[in-house]
Amino acid sequence: MSVAALEGILAIDPRAARARVRQRFEAAFRGRGSRVVLFGASWLGRAALRGFRAAGMEPLAFADNNPALHGHACEGLPILAPAEAAARFGASAVFVATVFTNGPVLDQLAAMGLVHLPLSVAAWQFPEAFAVGWPAFFPEGAGPFAERIRAAFALLADAASREEFLGQLAWRSTLDRSALPAHLPPEQTYFPPDLIRLGPREVFVDCGACDGDSLRAFLAHQSEGPGTYIAIEPDEENCRKLARCQEGRPADSFRIVPVVLGEGTGKAYFTRSGGAISVLHDGGEFSPVQPLDAILEGTVPTLVKMDIEGGEGIALEGGRETLARHRPALAIASYHKPSDLWEIPLQIRDISPGYRIHLRRHSDECWEEVCYAVPGRGAT
């Protein structure tokens, strides 16, 4: 993928791009007022509901493909089967896809003949209302970040990474889905076999271990499991779930560290959800903060995964000494902040220039974008 393609994306006029997306939004809602149905009642759907309400648009209902949810309510809205939602609101409302892997839902809505939009188009119309939870959309365009973007692009070690990088920049600048290459299977998240080759004695440091979902994914790829597993997870409910994953494993091979990762030692406010979306937040509880260097003192990690809802850059800084000395393979979520796409690769380069940097995505749009850093020199 050429430098000329990159320069073309950097030259996109953000005002013209915003105008085109605005036209998409207005065309969908023409004759429908502000009537909207949210398709997907999970975390993303609830976040979208809050965004629409903040923008002064009260959704009519949720639709969802999960039969177990039908007949229930979510934050005051009924959850309907797709066919029922279409019968009640199909002629008068816009259906907005509020699931992370939204391609199949958009196809489903099109097949049903419903007027529909991806959530990203709505988020662009109300940037203040959707400011929390939509960090990957930057309607200001890529131009202001051009120097850093060019530097990151030059680091990428293979054609697939360069294609993904350009696709992300183009989509984030225009919301044109046709710019995006196909994503990898979700089940390969953090462990794509061409980049991360798991052995039986891995020292796996799972930053943002949640309830053990990444450990289960590891086991699906390498059934013997890691030789040592270090789970860093500040959410108490998740830690209780993690403890159940320890059953049958030697005590000295499994360690749960209930802290927030930072550059140094201290305290931070942290909102616990008992799920995958626990985040640093001023309204949360006071939680201990430790740097990765302190946690891993005396340990030689071979694989470090990070998915900590936007704290990845700070956590990398807090592990700089350990990562530079031992150079484990890295799998770092790179979609929580707009600049993560280029800043995470640059930060890894600064920590250790011997890494080969790759980008892979495991869901639609920007979701589950991961920067993989593999020890080794050179590029292909």
pLDDT at 280 over 80: no
CB 97 within 8 A of CB 105: yes
Distance (Å) of CA 41 to CA 45, 72, 100: 5, 11, 11
**What phi and psi values does residue 201 have, to the nearest 5 degrees?**
-120, 30
For residues 343 and 337, give the distance between their C-alpha atoms in angstroms, rounded to a whole number.
10
Sign of CA dihedral 6, 8, 10, 15: negative
Return the pLDDT at 134.
52
pTM above 0.95, yes or no: no
Confidence of residue 2 (pLDDT cuts 50, 70, 90): confident
Return the pLDDT at 272.
52
Question: Distance between alpha carbon 356 and the CA centroid of its chain, in Å?
Answer: 21
* CATH 3.40.50.150 domain span(s) along the chain: 149-375
Tokens of 208: 């943002």
- DSSP letter at 66 equals -
Q: How many CB atoms lie within 10 A of CB 83?
A: 11
* CATH 3.40.50.720 domain span(s) along the chain: 31-125
Q: Which CATH architecture has domain 149-375?
A: 3-Layer(aba) Sandwich (3.40)
Return the pLDDT at 249.
82
Tokens of 283: 């309204």
Cite the beta strand spans of 208-262 per DSSP E: 228-232, 254-257, 260-261
For residues 36 and 354, the model is more confident at 36
Confidence of residue 248 (pLDDT cuts 50, 70, 90): confident
When the candidates are 3.40.50.720, 3.20.20.70, 3.20.20.140, 1.20.140.160, the CATH number that belongs to 31-125 is 3.40.50.720
